[in-house]
Amino acid sequence: MRLYKEFHFEAAHFLPSAPPGHPNSRVHGHSFRVRVTIHGEPDARTGILVHFEEFEAALAETRAALDHRMLNEVEGLAMPTLERIAVWIWDRLHNRLPGLMEVMVARDSCHEGAIYHGPRMRHAAE
């Protein structure tokens, strides 16, 4: 079973790696949409994987840390690309949400996003 919950946040940022004069090198803002997916087996007695209130509580602190912020000033997001925002969110949630499977971060106005499935386990042969 997979369950997901979405939240939105508004934030400004700039990309220090963008070439001089590129629009992304200047401060600009976006409306971001985040979808967090968990997986597991629903409890045999209750039929529930997780109560959505508990899911929401785990996401609320993360949303508050990003909403109406300058992302470059958020600890760990000096280079706030979609990819790094997705990893940053994963890192904040993986201990709070058993079965965390995926973090998706999108900028709807740009029709683009990033999906992160967490760090890959190394094979024993490596």
pLDDT digits (tens, 9 = 90+) for 15-43: 999 999 999 999 999 999 999 999 999 99
Q: Which amino acid is at 40?
A: G
- What is the number of residues in the chain? 126
User: For the chain, which domains are there?
Assistant: 1-13+29-40+75-119 (3.30.479.10)
Note the pLDDT of residue 95. 94
51 burial level (CB within 10 Å; 0-12, 13-18, 19+):
exposed
In angstroms, the CA 93 to CA 89 distance is 6
8-state DSSP, 79: S
3-state secondary structure 13-27: ECCCCCCCCCHHHCC
Type of residue at 72: N
Confidence at 125, pLDDT banded by 50, 70, 90: very low
Share of the chain above pLDDT 70, in %: 95
pLDDT at 45: 96
122 has a pLDDT exceeding 60: no
